[in-house]
Structure 1
Amino acid sequence: MRALLVVNPSATTTSARTRDVLVHALASDLKLEVATTEYRGHARDLARRAAEDGNTELVVALGGDGTVNEVVNGLLSGGPDPAGLPRLAVVPGGSTNVFARALGLPNDVVEATGALLNALREGTERTVGLGLASGTPGTDDEGVPERWFTFCAGLGFDAGVIGRVEQQRERGKRSTHALYARQVLRQFLGEANRRHGTITLERPGEDPVEDLVVSIICNTSPWTYFGSRPVYATPEASFDTALDLLGFAKLSTPAATRYVAQLMTSTPERGPRGKHVVGLHDLTAFTLHSQVPLPFQMDGDHLGLRTSVTFTGVRRALRVIV
């Protein structure tokens, strides 16, 4: 099998020695080409060329969720075609690795490599659904390019937290769970609209849901991990269905404290709940509008401010080796 290994040299949890061991292991079973990313978006460009050349059967992403997102967007640059596109494989190398862990892969590079080689030898794979976000026609964001996401997106509060974390990392701070916790508190204290949200959810054939402060879109469950603890924002979300949404219409101090406690004690059967909680399952198409520009994120990557985003849940979009 001809394969391309896309390596992010800045991956948080991998060393040069670990990468060499991985390359050697994969090269023993595959006709392997190795490419190291050199700039933001390079993984997308490499995967797009692999999808277009017609010879590559597998693209392996070594890195965190950001690297995986770029590879997926490169593979799907011409649209979803599970039968015609190279398969995707993931070796987790980031700090959280939500997509890989949601697939059931070990959160260790060496163990994940062993699991990948076993899956290749046994020919095991699955076809997963993905989310697609695009600019909304007739709005200021109409011309924003489409972008795929693998496990989550968010408009508003959670994206603001990610933006703050990225700023701290640019200043040399390490990506730790303590860093995220501090930025959650700072985002909450600085949130101007926490008592009356600015986000409206619109769905075809349904009444709009107004005044949301938080809007989290999930393609799978768990939503994220806090250390080894999985956090289930939308427990029913699955790679086999379309998109799920969790919204909060109130974020006062008592409400926020309650929601944090519910998230930290969430299970695959029970997520956040309450009078001001909106939970929707298996959405194929919807739009989020905001009265003011809000931070937007996809797969943990802060993408700036948006006032409107249209989402599509695409079932069976890509084949993944597992």
Structure 2
Amino acid sequence: MRALLVVNPVATTTSARTRDVLTHALASDLKLEVAETEYRGHARELARQAAEQGTADVVIALGGDGTVNEVVNGLLHNGPDTGELPRLAVVPGGSTNVFARALGLPNDAVEATGALLAALHAESERAVGLGLAAGTPGTADAEVPRRWFTFCAGYGFDAGVVGRVESQRERGKRSTHALYLRQAVRHFVGDRRRTRGTISLIRPGQDPVEGLVLSIVCNTAPWTFLLNRPVYAAPRASFDTALDVVGLSRLSSAALTRYSSQLLRSSPERGLHGKRVVSLHDETHLTLQSQVPLPFQLDGDHLGLRTSVSFTGVHRALRVIV
């Protein structure tokens, strides 16, 4: 089987020696081509070339959620899988690895490689649904390129936290859970819009939901992980359904304490809840828009400020080795 291994050489939790060991293990069973990413967006280009030129049967992403997202967008550059695209495989190498862990893969890169090889031998795969975000026609963001996401998108507060973390990483800080928590507190203190929401949630044939300060679009559960603990914002979200949405209409100090406690105690049966929580399940089409530009993120990648983003849940968009 022909395989392209896309390696992020600065992945958070894998050393050069570990990557060499994994590469040799994969090469023993596969006709393997290895490509290291050299800049942001490179993984997307590599995966797109493999899909369009038909040079690989499977594309393996070795890195964190950002690397996986780029590979997915490269594979799906021309649209959802119709049975002809290379399959996706993931070896986790980031700090959180939400997509890989949501698929049930081990969080350790060596163990995940062993599981991947076993799945390849067994020809074990599944088709997963994905989210697609795009600019909204008739708005200032209409021409923004569409982008696929694997596990979540955020508009408003949480995307602002992601933006702060990326800024710190550009200054040489390592991506850790402690860094995210510190930036969340700092963003909370400095965000003046957290008590007066400007986000509207719009769905075809439904009354709009107004005044949200935070909105999270989930493609699967859990939403994220805190160390080894899964965190469920929208527990019913699944790769087998469309999109789930969680929104908050207020984020005061008391509310932050309450919702943080709910997330720490969340489970597959219960996520965020309360009178100021909006929770929607299995939504195929929706739009989030704001009176003022707000931060936007996909799969932990900050994409700047937007006034409007439209979302589509696409069933069975891509085949994944599991």
Q: Normalising by the residue count of structure 2, what TM-score does the alignment of the two structures yield?
A: 0.99
Which runs of 5 or more structure 2 residues have no equivalent in the other structure? none
Q: Give the alignment of 1:124-273 within 5 angstroms.
A: 124-273=124-273
Counterpart Cα distance in 2 of 1:320 and 1:38:
25
Counterpart Cα distance in 2 of 1:128 and 1:320:
7
- The letter of the residue matching 1:306 is R
Aligned to 2:38: 38
CA contact (8 A) 2:296 2:302 kept: yes
1:83-124 superposed Cα distances (whole Å, 9 cap, x missing partner): 111000000000000000000000001000000000000110
Structure 1 position 279 matched with structure 2 position 279: yes
Aligned to 2:3: 3
- The letter of the residue matching 2:15 is S
Q: Give the alignment of 1:104-143 within 5 angstroms.
A: 104-143=104-143
Aligned to 1:308: 308
Counterpart Cα distance in 2 of 1:251 and 1:276:
9
Among the aligned pairs, what percent are the same residue?
A: 76
**How many angstroms does 1:56 deviate by?**
1.3
- The letter of the residue matching 1:285 is H
- Does the residue aligned with 1:184 lie in a helix, a strand or coil? helix
**How many angstroms does 1:29 deviate by?**
1.0
Counterpart Cα distance in 1 of 2:282 and 2:11:
33
1:25-72 superposed Cα distances (whole Å, 9 cap, x missing partner): 111111111001111100000000000012311000000000000000
- Does the residue aligned with 2:256 lie in a helix, a strand or coil? helix
CA contact (8 A) 1:218 1:237 kept: yes
Structure 1's consecutive aligned runs of 4 or more residues displaced over 2 angstroms after TM superposition are none
Counterpart Cα distance in 2 of 1:261 and 1:152:
21
Q: Give the alignment of 1:84-95 within 5 angstroms.
A: 84-95=84-95
Counterpart Cα distance in 1 of 2:278 and 2:316:
26
Counterpart Cα distance in 2 of 1:292 and 1:66:
27
Q: Normalising by the residue count of structure 1, what TM-score does the alignment of the two structures yield?
A: 0.99
**How many angstroms does 1:190 deviate by?**
1.1
CA contact (8 A) 2:218 2:245 kept: yes
How many residue pairs match? The answer is 322
1:171-212 superposed Cα distances (whole Å, 9 cap, x missing partner): 122212111111111111111111110000000000000000
**How many angstroms does 1:23 deviate by?**
1.0
Counterpart Cα distance in 2 of 1:49 and 1:176:
32
- The letter of the residue matching 1:15 is S
Counterpart Cα distance in 2 of 1:52 and 1:189:
47
CA contact (8 A) 1:129 1:241 kept: yes
Counterpart Cα distance in 2 of 1:86 and 1:203:
33
**How many angstroms does 1:82 deviate by?**
4.1
**How many angstroms does 1:315 deviate by?**
0.5
CA contact (8 A) 1:82 1:127 kept: no
- Does the residue aligned with 1:179 lie in a helix, a strand or coil? helix
Counterpart Cα distance in 2 of 1:177 and 1:82:
38
Counterpart Cα distance in 1 of 2:211 and 2:94:
35
Counterpart Cα distance in 2 of 1:108 and 1:29:
20
Aligned to 2:293: 293
CA contact (8 A) 1:88 1:319 kept: yes
- Does the residue aligned with 2:241 lie in a helix, a strand or coil? coil
- Does the residue aligned with 1:77 lie in a helix, a strand or coil? coil
Aligned to 1:23: 23
